[in-house]
Amino acid sequence: MSKESSPSGVRPPAALTCVLLTLALAALTVAPTGCARTTTADAPEAPPAARTVDAADTLHGIVVPDPYRWLEDFESEEAQAWVDVQNAYTEAVLATFPDRDQLRARLDELFQIPSLGYMWERGDRLFFLRRDPENEQQVLYVRRGVEGEPTKLIDPEDFGDDVPVGLDWWHPTPDGRLLAYGISEGGSESSTLYVMDVDSKELHPDTIPHTRAVSLAWKPDKSGFYYTRFPSPGEVPDDELYYHRRVFYHELGTNSADDPLIFGGDLEMHTWTGISLSTNGRWLFGYAMYGSAENDIYLMDLESDEGWKPFVVGLATRTSGVPIEDEFFMSTQHEAPNGRIFRVDLTKPGREHWVEIIPESENAIETYMYVSGRVFVRYLENAHSNVRVFDRDGTHLNDVELPDMATVFDWTGNWKGDDAFIGISSYLLPPRILRYDIDTGELAVNMAVEAPIDTAPYVTRQVWYTSRDGTEVSMFLVHRRDTELDGTNPTVLTGYGGFTSSTTPGFARNRYLWLDHGGVWAEPNLRGGGEYGEEWHRDGMLGNKQNTFDDFIAAAEWLIENGYTSPERLAVWGGSNGGLLTGAFATQRPDLAGVVISDVPLLDMVRFHRFYAAMIWTPEYGTPEEPEQFEWLYDYSPYHRIVDGRAYPAILFTTAESDSRVHPSHAMKATARLQAATSSGRPILLHYERKAGHGMGLQMSTILDQYVDYYSFLFSQMGMRYGRAH
């Protein structure tokens, strides 16, 4: 849920452009060493070969063949017939795993463990997400006071049965009495905005379409709000509907078609805009974001008629801020790749008047918030959370004592309140929300997930290994304390490495089945992420993207060399940008793993920018339209690195019909190409999900089905049987 315009806290701007898909990967079990491999002899030997076409692009003098381009029209009758055959083949292969029913039963038990999600404190109300066993998705609740009884506000299941509906985002008013929220169907994230009276649950007549991933700022008097939306069909050419995100103003009770354009009309169409408003309603901030590494900020004094003025423009770095009354508490990476914080008097906004209150440190600032004269700063210390509390002048007051190697997954507080709520979890700690008393510094559990899991047999370790260019990279390992380093342990290696998104310790309920049966879980902190500041990010973007793949490959080599696993017992798994990661791994080092899962991936890096809103990712990846950048992209593009006759691992690609971020043709074309090319005899599978998108709004029953498939694939390809300890 977007918190981009929160007046007391900020999220990194990367959250707006990131193709981040966070998957709570499920669990595996293993058979004793030497057990017979489960075969797919009863399944069809292979799907019918996909036809090829004589299609190619000539870019900068290089001819780039694209024999499966016809699959880019994935809604065509021919492509849908091909998808039906692929899904049938995948189902037939996965059905041969004999323990699917037992696997489903155990995963279902684990999915019954509740979840806690994002939260927002406004007025005397705490809004938060929670999913209980009876829920298909997370439900939005509101609670009055510290110990008030939660009341259900929005349950996506109440919106219909035929097509899954998702709650995409939500923004309460400063006093918590009204709520603007976005609903979309089928995982599309194409939201329609609604406004609810929180106490009565009655809807206002106001509805606004095309509010995908909205940035929204309520006026203090609740008379209206500033918000972002995309064009309606017909306003721009069809191939530009995912761009031109602009800021408008809506007065409650008026026709949204008449909402005036406020900000962004003169910006290039690929620029991602955002909005925030100071707590006194005077200062309006317009954000112009250029990928995950750079943004500009413009300022308007609503008590004058001078319009927008440049505030932080041209620094070519990330800057964000918390506008409190007539001050702006601003974090920037300008001349400080780990971030530093200034206090700016908005009546004198010139840079010469900025006052640095929290200097750069050896740890990267992840985000921060302002509560009752305190600045809470969340640092990443060796890729896990560390929270420090300062006064408004930057004097360090104290640290918030968190469990070892924990992650703050969210936090909230009123800017003049008397408490802060901090949500934490770790690999071995189920989610809980802590209440921090501003006056006393006392920290106490306010809400917690009860999980019937004994964590005593497990251990979390952080290790360091050397990547190809000599860079030291950290990696988290989770496994049983009695794990023997004999090279036989089945291991899942997963990662992301992009858009400043950080891989940190987090709770995944279904992972415990894997751990219980001797599995090793490995998560490296790859370059391209934000774990070690902006330099770490930039070392894994644009022309440095191969560093991300080298870091991942080196992690696999380290696990093998140090006796944790072997290539045939190693599976790599990632989604979205992490799907690109696993696709690059599979095509660059197919000898290092036996199994690959690539969820909703980018795989054709020569044509990725042609679909949906992918042009907003070119600051991260580069564009094939530029000769030098084409060279980077073409060199590692997984679809183009596939070689006829090479032995590839068993691979499962997934995609979804309503995915509005990554085009389904990435997975479809790579599936067809690999099925024709591989010589290993191991299956190349595609699962194409209908009535789903990039992962948002999925029902728990659908998630359960997906994970049964994932692990049936892993079990069968790694010679594993459910219920037999390693």
Q: Give the separation between CA 578 and CA 653, rounded to whole angstroms.
A: 12
For residue 707, the Cα-to-chain-centroid distance in whole angstroms is 18
Q: Give the separation between CA 153 and CA 626, rounded to whole angstroms.
A: 49
Catalytically active residues are 576, 694
Range 53-60, long-range pairs (CB < 8 A, 24+ positions)? 57/606, 57/607, 59/606, 59/624, 59/630, 59/634, 60/627, 60/630, 60/631
Contact 493, 475 (CB under 8 A): no
* The residue type at 350: G
Q: Where do runs of H (alpha helix) occur along 504-544?
A: 511-516, 534-538
Q: Give the separation between CA 290 and CA 287, rounded to whole angstroms.
A: 10
**C-alpha distances in angstroms, 576 versus 348, 514, 601, 617, 667?**
43, 23, 4, 12, 11
Contact 164, 186 (CB under 8 A): yes
Residue 411: burial class (beta carbons within 10 Å; 0-12, 13-18, 19+): buried
Contact 516, 319 (CB under 8 A): no
**C-alpha distances in angstroms, 50 versus 105, 510, 647, 694?**
36, 36, 19, 25
Dihedral (C-alpha) 109, 114, 115, 121: value to the nearest 10 degrees?
Answer: 180
Residue 682: burial class (beta carbons within 10 Å; 0-12, 13-18, 19+): middle
Contact 292, 264 (CB under 8 A): no
When computed from its CA atoms, the radius of gyration of the chain, rounded to whole angstroms, is 25
How far does the chain reach from its first CA to its final CA, in angstroms? 40
How many Cβ atoms from other residues are within 10 Å of residue 282's Cβ?
18
Query: What are φ and ψ of residue 79, in 5° steps?
Result: -65, -40
How many Cβ atoms from other residues are within 10 Å of residue 361's Cβ?
15
Dihedral (C-alpha) 365, 367, 372, 373: value to the nearest 10 degrees?
Answer: 30
* The residue type at 506: G
